[in-house]
Amino acid sequence: MSSPIISLKGLTKHYGSLKAVDDLNLDVQKAEIFGLLGPNGAGKTTSILMMLGLTEPSSGTAHVCGYNATSNPIAVKKKVGYMPDNLGFYDQMSALENLVYIGRLNGLAETKGKARAIELLELLGLKDVMHKKTGTFSRGMKQRLGLADVLIKEPEVIILDEPTLGIDPAGVKDFLALIKQLSKQQGLTVLLSSHHLHQVQQVCDRVGIFVNGKLLAQGNIDTLSQSLFGTDAFVTTINLTQAVPQPWPLETELKQFDALKKIMIHDQEIEFTCSREFTAPLVRFLVEKGYDILGVHQKSYGLDEIYQKYFESNSINQTKP
């Protein structure tokens, strides 16, 4: 395994007595999309600011692209594009001018920067409005311009803070698809923070759950749900045409399967709880026994449930002094 492109070790930040970030350890590999998930005020933005050297950690280190972000922020900022959560542009300048300005600050020559800016605006579907002042832009357009703004310096890593905030659902979908596509095409490492679970679920390779300054768990969604829900991770619901008699004669036969943990019957609906993915054998079994199946629904645990679970355990911890 190559060395991680973002490496945070024991990162801690206090604001007075408040611990905004508490002993954060995190590695993000190259070309990975990592989602930093957590409720508002969990310390996501603070962690990101420390990665960029925009605020000093109380203790611990943040290394990005091999540079220490606290002592050498300029080197980090050359390689990292950052899109803040409420990003603004110079309203009196056009989209193109805004982009070219940032490009020039990154050392691009005027003509080359302009060519690249136009290229990016085309990629992000803003070519028609590139001479309009950004003051007239909608939130979604600004968000896309923000992405162009991040990409103009040809970064190795892009950090997006709440990139989907305030965009409509269709826009979010396009935006995330675009991020994913860019990441795959250019081998970009993406770190995005969000409190929108579903959106992050769509694009992230790995997620970290961040609550009250602590990283509670990290991994891909499957491992997370496995570790959380353990044996109850797979639930299959099957609807039949006729009501199932109680007690069900087949129940003893079904108990033979070691993967099957629990069977719940409500009239025409049977809910199977399994320790692994077990839908197909169940369906085959029922069909062989002559049942007419109307519908099969395999419930998979998403981030919502994971999140919920963490909040539950978290609130329990909090009530205990």
Site residues, other proteins (CB under 8 A): 45, 49, 52, 54-56, 74-75, 77-78, 80-82, 84-92, 101-102, 104-107, 149, 153, 161
Contacts of 83 (CB under 8 A, 6+ apart): 146, 147, 149, 150, 158, 159, 160, 161, 163
Q: Are strands 293-300 and 234-240 parallel, antiparallel or unpaired?
A: antiparallel
Phi, psi (degrees; rounded to nearest 5) at 295: -160, 150
Shortest Cβ 10–other proteins spacing (Å): 20
| Cβ neighbours of residue 175 closer than 8 Å, sequence gap 6 or more | 140, 143, 144, 147, 163, 164, 167
Vertex 49, ends 84 and 203: CA angle to 5°? 55
- What is the distance between the alpha carbons of residues 254 and 256, in angstroms, rounded to a whole number? 5
Q: How far is the CB of 140 from other proteins (least distance, A)?
A: 16
Shortest separation between residue 87's beta carbon and other proteins, angstroms: 5
Q: Among residues 68 and 275, whose Cβ is nearest to other proteins?
A: 68
Q: What is the closest distance, in whole angstroms, from the C-beta atom of residue 189 to other proteins in the complex?
A: 16
Shortest spacing between CB 276 and other proteins, in angstroms: 44
Residue 102 or 215 with smaller CB distance to other proteins: 102
For residue 27, which phi and psi values (nearest 5 degrees)? -120, 135
To which residue do tokens 């408040």 refer? 18
Q: Is the dihedral of CA 86, 90, 93, 99 positive or negative?
A: negative
C-beta of 25 vs 92, nearer to other proteins: 92
CA–CA distance, 99 with 8 (Å, rounded to integer): 31
- Closest CB to other proteins among residues 167, 286: 167
* 105/280 with CB nearer other proteins: 105
Q: What's the min distance (Å) between Cβ of 116 and other proteins?
A: 15
* Maximum separation of any 2 CA atoms in the chain, in Å: 79
Nearer to other proteins, 56 or 222 (CB): 56
Residue 84 or 140 with smaller CB distance to other proteins = 84
Tell the smallest beta-carbon distance from residue 106 to other proteins (Å). Answer: 6
CA 204 to chain centre: 5
- Closest CB to other proteins among 70 and 218? 70
Closer by beta carbon to other proteins, 45 or else 183: 45
- Cα–Cα distances (Å) from 221 to 35, 90, 176, in that order, read 11, 39, 17
Contact status, residue 52 vs residue 6, Cβ threshold 8 Å: no
Q: How far is the CB of 157 from other proteins (least distance, A)?
A: 12
CB of residue 78 to other proteins, shortest distance in Å: 4
Q: Report d(CA 63, CA 166) in Å as an integer.
A: 31
The identity of residue 129, as a single letter, is V
